[in-house]
A and B are shown apart, each in its own frame.
Chain A
Amino acid sequence: MTSMITNCSFYLSILTYIPLAGFALILLWKKEDTKGIQRVAFWTTLIDFLWSVPLFLHDWSTGGMSFVEDIPWIESLGVHYKFGIDGFSALLILLTTVLGCIAVFSSYTAITHRQKEYYAFLLFLQVGMLGVFCSLDFVLFYVFWEVMLVPMYFLIGVWGGPRKLYAAIKFFLYTLFGSVVMLLGILALYFWNTEGIPQIGIQGLHNAPSFDILHFHKVAELMPLDLQLWLFFAFFLGFAIKVPMFPFHTWLPDAHVEAPTAGSVILAGVLLKMGTYGFVRFSLPMFPKASTHGTVVGLMATLAIIGIVYGSLVAMMQKDMKKLVAYSSVAHLGFVMLGIFALNPMGLRGAILQMVNHGISTGALFLLVGIVYERRHTRMISEYGGLSKQMPIYAAFFLVITMSSIGLPTLNGFIGEFTILLGAFAHDWRWGFWGALAIVLGAAYMLWLYQRVFFGPLENEENKKLKDLSGREAWTLIPLVFLAFWIGIAPNVFFRMIEKPVDTVMDALSVDDATPHTRFLAERKRAGLVGKKGAVAPAESPSQPAADSSPAAAPSSGALPATGN
Chain B
Amino acid sequence: MGDFNFLLILPETWLSIAGLVILLAGLVFKKRREGVLITASLCAIAIAAFLVYALARKFGADARSGFAESIVVDPFSSYFKFLFLGSSFLTLLMSRRFLERSSYTGGEFSALILFATVGMMFMASGTDLITLYIGLELMALSTYVLAGYFKGEVKSNEAGLKYFVLGGMSSGVLLYGLSLIYGTSGSTNIAVIAAKLGADPSKLAMLGIVFVSAGLFFKVAAAPFHVWVPDVYEGAPTPVSAFMSVGPKAAAYALLARIFYNGFYASHEKWVGLVALVAAFTMIWGNVAALLQNNVKRMLAYSSIAHAGYALLGVVAFDGKWGLSGVLFYMLAYTFMNLGAFGFVILLETKGYAGETVSDFEGLSKKHPIAAAGMLLFLLSLAGIPPTAGFLAKYVLFAATIKAGYVSLAVIAVISSAISLFYYFRIVAAMYLKEEKEFTETISPTRALSFSLAFCALMTIVVGVAPGPFLEWARASLPAFHR
Contact = CB atoms under 8 A, between A and B. Distances in A.
Interface in A195-210: 195, 197-200
A144 to B, nearest CB: 8
Contacts of B365: 117
A228 to B, nearest CB: 15
Contact of B417 (A77, A168, A180, A190): A180
Contacts of A190: 399
A164 B418 contact: no
B405 A200 contact: yes
B403 interface: yes
B266 interface: no
A148 to B, nearest CB: 10
Contacts of A191: 399, 402-403
Given A172-B421, A187-B399, A74 B433 contact: no
B407 A184 contact: yes
A168 to B, nearest CB: 7
A176 B421 contact: yes
Interface stretch (A1-9, A149-157, A279-287, A339-347): A149-157
Interface stretch (B24-32, B132-140, B466-474): B466-474
Interface in B66-82: none
Contact of A200 (B386, B407, B415, B468): B407
Contacts of A142: 386
Nearest to A157: B433
A146 B405 contact: no
Contact of B387 (A143, A181, A199, A200): A143
B414 A183 contact: yes
Interface in A312-343: none
Interface string A129-167: 000000000010011001101100110011000001100
B468 A76 contact: yes
A190 B392 CA distance: 15
A164 B417 contact: no
B411 interface: yes
Contact of B429 (A146, A169, A173, A177): A169
A117 to B, nearest CB: 8
Interface residues of B, number: 34
B415 A177 contact: yes
Interface in A38-88: 73-77
Contacts of A139: 395
Interface string B428-444: 01001100000000000
A2 to B, nearest CB: 32
B425 A169 contact: yes
Contacts of A187: 398-399, 402-403, 410
B271 interface: no
Nearest to B420: A176
Given A187-B402, A190-B399, A199-B405, A177 B433 contact: no
Contacts of B380: 150
Given A76-B472, A199-B404, A200-B405, A146 B399 contact: no
A188 B402 contact: yes
Given A147-B387, A169-B429, A77 B407 contact: no
25 contacts: A73-B468, A117-B365, A142-B386, A143-B386, A143-B391, A146-B385, A147-B385, A157-B433, A169-B422, A173-B421, A173-B422, A180-B415, A181-B414, A183-B414, A184-B410, A184-B411, A187-B403, A187-B410, A195-B403, A197-B405, A198-B405, A199-B404, A199-B405, A199-B406, A200-B407
What are the 7 closest A-B residue pairs judged by CB atoms, nearest first?
A199-B405, A180-B414, A143-B386, A200-B405, A187-B402, A157-B433, A176-B418
Interface of A: 73-77, 117, 139, 142-143, 146-147, 149-150, 153-154, 157-158, 164-165, 168-169, 172-173, 176-177, 180-181, 183-184, 187-188, 190-191, 195, 197-200
Interface of B: 365, 380, 385-387, 391-392, 395-396, 398-399, 402-407, 410-411, 414-415, 417-418, 421-422, 425, 429, 432-433, 467-468, 471-472, 475
Given A146-B385, A165-B433, 10 more contacts: A74-B392, A74-B468, A75-B468, A150-B385, A164-B433, A183-B414, A184-B414, A191-B399, A191-B402, A199-B405
